Amino acid sequence: MSETKIKPYEKPENIINPNSEFSIEVQNLRKIFRGKKGYDDVIAVDDVSFKVKSGELFGFLGPNGAGKTTVINMLIGLLKPTSGIAIVNGYDIHDGLSHIKELIGVCPQEPSVFKFLTGIENIELFGKLHSMKKAEIKDKTNKLFEILDLSKASRRKTKGYSGGMLRQLNMIIALIHDPKIAFLDEPTVGMDPRARRATWKFIGSLKTKSKTIFLTTHYIEEAEALCDRVAVIDYGKIIEIGAPQDLIKKYEVENLEGVFLKITGRRIMEGV
Amino acid sequence: MNTQRILALMKMELYKILREPAYLFLMILFPAVLTITFGFAFGDPELGMSFNLMAPGLFAYACIFIIMTVAQSFADFREQGLLRRLNTTPMSSTDFMFSNILSNMIISTLQVVIVFVLALLFGFRSNSDIVGILLAFLLMALFSLSSVGLGLITASVSKSAGTATGLSFIFILPQMFFGTFIPITDTTRPIAMFLPSYYATDALTSIFSGASLTSANILIDFAFISIVSIVIVIIGILLFKKSGNK
């Protein structure tokens, strides 16, 4: 799908501030995919605005196809927005991508690892792409592999890894260089409950390291257990934003699923 | 460009070739098997078709298959989301392309060494001195550039690794039949003259026959391969940059 230009991009003035208290600032962000012949255009992200504070664990909660990944892809430079403004750590995504890439770690939804390399070799490669020294990579790799219980498989080619192991390695690669901001796109999909709990614990531990974490998920428990604040997204629009407990209180429901149900009349997991 | 990143990516590329059986066969074993087969079939001068005449074409032939491996590999990386992931790191596309070109040049040199040693065993004799042999190696490295470029062009228009394999034959077959070990006739020459492999084989034939390395024929072939390879690589990089993130 290709994009339709709605209006020419206008560079924001006096908005770029590397010392901002916000790690991510998004204003009226839109992404429209032009439909191929005979098909309608698809508005994947529709006028989305939000801010993520530095050190915050911010969740993007919504059903599949809600636009969560499209927002992430725009913030990390893989997609150009049709219109709107996005600032990551003070840098505009339109012309500050090289700076942004030095600061972020990205864990894509589908595990993307080199199958002919071992777990350690994959991490070494990405560590070096982030200008890390070999000794530093080795030290951090050992720690992360231990935390996520992958040490035994570290020297095996990833071709033989299970789905859950691949997802954990996928996340280690995203975090090996100690990024200031981590984008975790549905990091626990397909993991067994044990691995999922271990991963939640690990993501939770990142909060103490003052990292900003942008997490997308369609798991209610995940969002409730981990996130300081969540934006609930549906059909490309943010329909609610706030701390999980505040939203639950506001709508007088039991959990975030109830919040979603009350606003949209549907369940998040419908169609997942 | 960042040396650490380029070296890390080159290491990854070389591991891919050494660890993936299909790539290992195409890049290393296939040229060897081909030379041995042709050595047994035509190594005997009494058959009337001297192996010495065919050998230069075999060198070029080995490098042509880089088109397929590059196309397959890039399409495969794209299918698996690896190019997108690499694009989220500080690595520049120049780092990525440069590492790929360098690792393929190393492989093509290795291919030429294998073919050269095996050809010697089957009775191939070069009338050139060591400088000529080194020039032949350099020529093959340059020729492999055009193969990398054609591989990138193929990967850009292919939606999957499987399609890339099939489409790569569009560039492989003409070069195979009209520019390498099959003798060129007056009928096939007009086609061959548009193919880099024709000039590579022509230059190698001249070098191995002992012609002066500064002869017009060799210099023209060299110039043609250099220019065409650079142009093809640039086109390949531009096309691939457009489709790489998809």
> pLDDT tens across A153-168, in order?
888 999 999 888 899 8
8 Å CB contact of A116 and B5: no
Does a structural domain hold residue A269?
no
CB contact under 8 A, A125 and B4: no
Between strands A229-234 and A57-61, the pairing is parallel
Interface mutation target, options B2, B85, B103, chain A, most CBs of A under 10 Å = B85
Amino acid B176: pLDDT: 81
Residue A70 counted as domain residue: yes
Alpha-carbon distance B38 to B35, whole Å?
5
- Please give the pLDDT value at position A269: 66
CB-based contacts of B48, cutoff 8 Å, min separation 6: none
Residue A247 has phi, psi (to 5 degrees) of -65, -40
Is-contact B39 B116, C-beta < 8 A?
A: no
Q: Is residue A206 part of a domain?
A: yes
More confident residue, B226 or B128: B226
**Is A271 contained in some domain?**
no
Question: Choosing among B1, B82, B88, which should be mutated to test the A contact, i.e. which has the most A CBs within 10 A?
Answer: B88
Distances (CA, A) of A87 to A28, A57, A98, B50, B108: 12, 17, 13, 68, 45
Task: Give pLDDT, residue B46.
Answer: 60
Give Cα B83 to chain centroid, integer Å.
Answer: 23
- The answer to whether B85 faces chain A, any CB pair under 8 Å, is yes
Shortest Cα distance, chain B CAs vs residue A64, angstroms: 19
B9 vs A: CB within 8 A: yes
- Reported as a single tens digit per residue, the pLDDT across A187-235 is 888 888 888 888 888 888 887 777 899 999 888 888 888 999 999 999 9
What integer best gives the mean pLDDT of chain B? 85
Phi, psi (deg, nearest 5) at residue A220:
-60, -50
Q: How confident is the model at residue B241 (pLDDT cuts 50, 70, 90)?
A: confident
CB contact under 8 A, A116 and B19: yes
In degrees, rounded to 5, the angle at the alpha carbon of residue A108 between the alpha carbons of residues A107 and A114 is: 90
pLDDT of B232 > 80? The answer is: yes
**In the predicted model, is pLDDT for residue B21 greater than 80?**
yes
**Overall size of chain A counted in residues:** 272
What pLDDT score was predicted for residue A15?
Answer: 46
Instruction: Calculate the average pLDDT of chain A.
Output: 86
pLDDT score recorded for residue A14:
41
User: What tens-digit pLDDT sequence spans chain A (272 residues)?
Assistant: 445 444 544 544 444 565 678 899 999 999 999 888 788 889 999 999 999 999 999 999 888 888 999 999 999 999 999 999 999 988 999 888 888 999 999 999 899 999 999 999 999 999 999 999 989 998 888 888 887 777 888 889 999 998 888 998 999 999 999 999 999 999 888 888 888 888 888 888 887 777 899 999 888 888 888 999 999 999 999 999 999 999 999 989 988 888 888 888 777 766 44
User: pLDDT at position A272, please?
Assistant: 46
Phi-psi region of A50 (alpha: psi -120 to 50; beta: other; left: phi over 0): beta
| Contact criterion met (CB < 8 Å) for B84 and A78 | yes
Confidence category of residue B90, pLDDT binned at 50, 70, 90: very high
Predicted pLDDT at A119:
92
Beta carbons of A157 and B12 less than 8 Å apart: no
Residues 95-124 of A with CB under 8 A from B: 98, 101-102, 104, 106, 108, 110, 112-117, 121, 124
The residue count of chain B comes to 246
Which of B89, B241, B243, B245 is most worth mutating to test chain A (most A CB atoms within 10 A of its CB)?
A: B89
Q: Is residue A14 part of a domain?
A: yes
Contact between A129 and B89 using a beta-carbon 8 Å cutoff: yes
Chain B nearest C-alpha distance from A272 (Å): 22
Fill in the amino acid letter for B1: M
Q: Which chain B positions have a beta carbon within 8 Å of A76's beta carbon?
A: 88
> What was the pLDDT predicted at B45?
58
Q: How confident is the model at residue B28 (pLDDT cuts 50, 70, 90)?
A: confident
Sort strands A181-185 and A104-107 into parallel, antiparallel or unpaired. Answer: parallel
Q: Test A78 with B245 for CB contact under 8 angstroms.
A: yes
Nearest CA of chain B to the CA of A120: how many Å? 12
Q: Measuring CA to CA, how many Å separate A3 from each of A40, A166, A260? A: 12, 32, 29
Per-residue pLDDT at A44: 93
Is there a contact between B16 and A114 if contact means CB atoms under 8 Å apart? yes
If one counts every other C-beta atom within 10 angstroms of the C-beta of residue A134, the result is: 11
List chain B residues with CB under 8 Å of A104.
88
Q: Which single residue is written with the structure tokens 């060799």?
A: B218
Instruction: Give me the mean pLDDT over the B49-64 stretch.
Output: 77
Number of domains in chain A: 1
Q: Is residue A270 part of a domain?
A: no
**Residues in A touching B17 (Cβ below 8 Å):** none
The secondary structure of chain A, three-state, reads CEECCCCCCCCCCCCCCCCCCEEEEEEEEEEEEECCCCCCCEEEEEEEEEEEECCCEEEEECCCCCCHHHHHHHHCCCCCCCEEEEEECCEECCCCHHHHHHHEEEECCCCCCCCCCEHHHHHHHHHHHCCCCHHHHHHHHHHHHHHCCCHHHCCCEHHHCCHHHHHHHHHHHHHCCCCCEEEEECCCCCCCHHHHHHHHHHHHHHHHHCCEEEEEECCHHHHHHHCCEEEEEECCEEEEEECHHHHHHHHCCCCHHHHHHHHHCCCCCCCC
Say yes or no: B94 contacts chain A, CB-CB below 8 A. Answer: no
The ranges assigned to domains in chain B are: 3-243
Q: Which residues of A82-92 are buried (b: 16+ CB within 10 A; e: fewer)?
A: bbbbbbbbbbb
Please, which residues have CB within 8 angstroms of residue B108's CB and are 6 or more apart in sequence? B62, B63, B66, B140, B141, B143, B144, B147
Average pLDDT estimate for B208-235: 89
Is residue A182 within 8 angstroms of chain B, CB to CB?
Answer: no
| Closest to B110 in 3D by CA, of B65, B175, B171, B177 | B65
Q: In percent, how much of chain B has pLDDT > 90?
A: 18
Q: Residue written as tokens 């049709």?
A: A82
The answer to whether the CB atoms of B85 and A121 lie below 8 A apart is no
Tell me what pLDDT residue B246 has: 58
What's the token pair of residue A23?
């790690």
Q: Does A159 contact chain B (CB < 8 Å)?
A: no
On chain B, the residues whose CB falls within 8 A of the CB of A119 are: none
Rounded to the nearest angstrom, the minimum Cα separation between B77 and chain A is: 8
What pLDDT score was predicted for residue B239?
Answer: 84
Q: Which CATH number characterizes residue A156's domain?
A: 3.40.50.300
With tokens 């005979």, the residue in question is A38
For residue A190, what are the domain limits? Answer: 2-264
| Cβ pair A131:B2 closer than 8 A | yes
Interface contact flag, B90 A114, Cβ < 8 Å: no
Chain B positions in Cβ-Cβ contact with residue A115 (cut-off 8 Å): 80
